A = this chain, B = another copy of it.
């Protein structure tokens, strides 16, 4: 099942940024994220990038701390969260972590699974960015992707129906999984129920009940808490479409 723990191409080549291009239309396989950086760009980043590892649950940085680096996830999952009880994003291989404002991280980040990432000191990164238009263009593409993602999150959270939220959440995971070119016959859910609750804006109890309901209705199937299979795709998709009101 876990034949390759790391995407070897990512490890060998240096930092990697995956995203769906905002402007290029009709690529080979539509909707699929690809590696944005050229080998050359990755090499230039690799010069000052250091590969770092975090244990499951380990803090990567705290909101409010002065920014010293941006992280590029190689393998594993990160959660970015606001002090209290809200997760603003889960970050996967090919993502950039470390959003800041006026020199300080705007939220905290913690490893959800064992994590490998490139650490990019911002001073060096900024310098490189200011002189490399091509690289910057790719960073812009990535930021657009994260912006779209965050907008979808806000949309997900704005619906009142718990089943719709969970369905949208699972769809999100599924899509990211497809982007990473992993098999999608089963959805891998690396985070625990509490984290899901904090991401979708429900209580842990409600998340649990909703999963139970989806299983009971024959819409999904749970191999274990971290592996879910969609049994009735039509109804599954309808859940997320039927959000509060008429379908236009």
Contact = CB atoms under 8 A, between A and B. Distances in A.
A147 B150 contact: yes
Interface string A225-248: 000000000000000000111001
A102 B151 contact: no
A180 interface: no
A23 B140 CA distance: 16
A86 B155 CA distance: 7
Interface residues of A, number: 57
A171 to B, nearest CB: 15
A172 to B, nearest CB: 13
Contacts of A1: none
B151 A88 contact: yes
A22 B147 CA distance: 15
A148 B26 contact: no
Contacts of A245: 84-85
Interface string A117-154: 00000100010011111101101100111111011011
Contacts of A201: 157-158
Interface string A2-35: 0000000000000000001111111100110000
Given A86-B158, A100-B23, A101-B22, A146 B147 contact: yes
A87 to B, nearest CB: 9
Contact of A25 (B22, B27, B102, B243): B102
Contacts of A31: 102
Contacts of A151: 88-89, 99, 106-107, 150
Residue among A26, A84, A244 having the largest count of chain B Cβ atoms under 10 Å: A84
Given A85-B244, A86-B158, 6 more contacts: A22-B103, A106-B151, A132-B133, A133-B133, A143-B144, A157-B157
